[in-house]
Amino acid sequence: MWKWIQAFASPQNFYYTAKKIIPWFLYPFIALTLVGLYWALIKSPPDYQQGDSVRIMYVHVPAAWMSLFIYVVMAVAGGIGLIWQIKLANVVAVVSAPIGAAFTFLALVTGAVWGKPMWGTWWVWDARLTSELILLFLYLAYMSLNNAFDNPKTASKASSVLAIVGLVNIPIIYYSVEWWNSLHQGSSIGVTKVSMHIDMFIALLLISFAFKFLYGVLILMRARDELLVREQNSRWVKAVVMEGKNND
């Protein structure tokens, strides 16, 4: 098992394997997005109180889930890079940050657009909204810290520490609506109950799986690029470049 991981995680091997795996994420992403959009915009009913504004939820909630999920991936990958010093783990952490930041931003913006007509305000400083904003700042801090060093190895060491410390914010975001009185509503989807109409739930699941696959596509593509830059002095990268020239 260990040998297999090491072989897979070697930059050269990953570069070629990733290229083969990308379609396995890309096509499910396209299919899930199309079906998900149909379910979210046409099949699912309007809400009894919110009317059609409820449809904002089908982007907002999956984006918010992704913002947490990607942060955990980033911090764990950073931790693995820190302890076992696997190059690929550091690359996964580094390329995840902008994707996570984008999903966090999307969750905040769609939340504001929904909040204005429903709550009566774009923004309030309640526990859920504030902790999600801190998550965006964590992503931005991680990215700037990474760019502050010339040597990617030193950069990863510093930024991984930041990512791991920032991990405490994740349960705070998740439980903020239970621990404190907040304007934001509690979770509709728990382990034991779903307080949502079945067609709404299906639309939500389809889009959130679409987002997961999109993350897969983006991370594989970006990791390949990042590996080329980081390993630019190695023989296999030179071979890749030569190959590319011949193909053009």
Partner 1 sequence: MTKRQNRMLFVALLVAGAILAITLLLQALGSNTNYFYSPTEVAEGKAPVGKSFRLGGLVAKGSVKRKDMKVNFDVTDNKNKFNIEYTGILPDLFREGQGIITTGSLVDGTFLATEVLAKHDENYMPPEVADALEKAKESKQK
Beta carbon of residue 7, minimum distance to partner 1 (angstroms, whole number):
20
Hey, how many other C-beta atoms are within 10 angstroms of the C-beta on 110?
A: 19
23 binds partner 1 (CB under 8 A): no
167 binds partner 1 (CB under 8 A): yes
Beta carbon of residue 204, minimum distance to partner 1 (angstroms, whole number):
9
What is the rounded CA–CA span in Å between residue 39 and residue 206? 8
Listed residue (226, 240, 229, 221) closest to 25, CA to CA: 221
140 binds partner 1 (CB under 8 A): no
Q: Which CB sits closer to partner 1, 31 or 124?
A: 124
192 binds partner 1 (CB under 8 A): no
Q: Of 7, 21, 34, 83, which lies in the binding site for partner 1, with binding defined by CB under 8 A? A: 83
164 binds partner 1 (CB under 8 A): yes
* Cβ atoms of residues 71 and 170 within 8 Å: yes
What is the rounded CA–CA span in Å between residue 29 and residue 35? 10
* Cβ atoms of residues 153 and 91 within 8 Å: no
Q: Of 21, 117, 147, 154, which lies in the binding site for partner 1, with binding defined by CB under 8 A? A: 117
Q: Phi/psi at 194 (nearest 5 deg)?
A: -125, 110
The length of the chain, given as a count of residues: 248
Q: Of 32, 54, 136, 145, which lies in the binding site for partner 1, with binding defined by CB under 8 A? A: 54
Of 17-25, 26-34, 136-144, 164-172, which segment contacts partner 1 by CB under 8 A?
164-172
